[in-house]
Amino acid sequence: MIVIVTDLDGTLLAPRTCSFAPARPALERLARAGAPLVLCSIKTRAEVEAVRAALGNRDPFIVENGAAVFVPCGYFPFSWDAHRTEGEYDLLEWGVPYPQIRGVVAAMRAAGLAVTGFADLGVAGVAHLCGFSEEEAWRALQRGYGEPLVIDGGAAAEARAQGVAAAWGLQLVGGGQFWHLAGPHDKGKAVRALSRLFRRRWPGVRLAGLGDSENDRAMLEAVDIPILIPSASGEIGLHLPHARIAHAPGPAGWNQAVLEFLEEVGEQSR
């Protein structure tokens, strides 16, 4: 048995259109093989559930950069120790609850920092900054464990904000369009926890992971077969020894890499 663990943006989903159409052949092969497809993203639960619905996916998924694993109730045919149950999911959680995250945003402001989070922007503001529809912006605002931030004041302000975050036991990472304030978790810890459950069900299971950026490093280090997806310019977003490199960017490269992996190991049913 094999399990595919994948990042979304720039990997399974095309960067601007969020289309996974070029990956359909591999997705169909995975479905025929009964191989689980685990979505592992910085996105919120609401955002990942929208992708799952489009894919027809019913496997566990990982949200907000490893803050939590959502496992459909009854997915594994044995009892295991979930941290809690919410609706139709059993959860493993490492993320700091969102109200506490917002409390640290307030502490940054009290320290004289000019910081703006998604919650301050609202649906219209997030849609404008990110180029989202209002529905997409609403899903991005349904945060459980972390907050994207804009920090005014340059490198000095960013360093001070990191100091405030650290004083509260949080991490502030990023430096692109947004900084991300969250607890001390990553995709790798979540993947390792989920892989233990998969290995309990299928002792010989092999996990392949696909990602495109430094943010995926911990996830890729936690799987048996790491696969790097290049950017549209052909650049590789991180250096990872022994990783395979897809021959094309985005979902086209994802499709090729997964099909090659399936050919290598042979399709197996559950």
DSSP classification of residue 21:
G
State the Cα–Cα distance between residues 37 and 67, nearest whole angstrom: 19
CB atoms within 10 A of CB 200: 13
Q: Write the DSSP assignment of 156-224 as a string of letters.
A: HHHHHHHHHHHHTT-EEEE-SS-EEEE-S--HHHHHHHHHHHHHHHSTT-EEEEEE-SGGGHHHHHTSS
* 3-class SS of residue 3: strand
Give 100's contacts (C-beta < 8 A, 6+ positions apart): none
Of the candidates 7, 9, 212, 216, the residue annotated as catalytic is 7
* 3-class SS of residue 88: coil
Concerning whether 7 is annotated as a catalytic residue, the answer is yes
Give 175's contacts (C-beta < 8 A, 6+ positions apart): 158
Name the token pair of 50.
């929208």
Name the token pair of 182.
């969250």
Asked whether 162 and 174 are in contact (CB, 8 A), the reply is: no
Active site residues: 7
